[in-house]
Amino acid sequence: MTKRVRNLLHAVTRWAENNPDLLGVALVGSYARGKAKIDSDVDLVFLALNPEDLITKPEWIKEFGDVESLRFEDWGILTSLRVFYQGGFEVEYGITTSEWAREPLAEGTRQVIANGMKILLDRYGLLDGAIKAVTSYGSN
């Protein structure tokens, strides 16, 4: 993991801890699996009480760097803010509600978690519960 990614994760965690609207934050994808390459993006999932606030007022992404461009992607229960920061650094912020981590888990959620997830913030154990659900499902 590069210093830039470590710094981002530290900053996001600190920011999330000070934002009571955020119930959980998780690193997913190649960085969570320890398989990231030099050009891999950083994938994060935010569980929010009011996800629309983060989606419709995305000024908060500037907390983590100088933004070159932003693209929105609709994945059903989750909306992705794909942010390109200066220097080609790409971060995908997946914004959703706590329903994303509640059982029964959607198949897409199950796949994301099974492919690797590291919890950065979990105020009420929702993300931990989702990991346990995927682990127990996989052992059946």
- Give the pLDDT confidence of 57-83 residue by residue, as tens digits: 999 999 999 999 999 999 999 999 999
Domains delineated in the chain: 3-138 (3.30.460.10)
Low-confidence ranges of the chain (pLDDT < 70): 137-140
Q: Flag whether the pTM goes above 0.85.
A: yes
Measuring CA to CA, which residue among 140, 55, 37, 39 is closest to residue 95? Answer: 55
Look up tokens 């492919």; give the residue.
115
Q: Which of 107, 119, 114 has its CA nearest to residue 139?
A: 114
How far apart CA 86 and CA 50 sit, in angstroms, is: 28
Q: How many residues does the chain have?
A: 140
- First vs last Cα of the chain: how many Å apart? 33
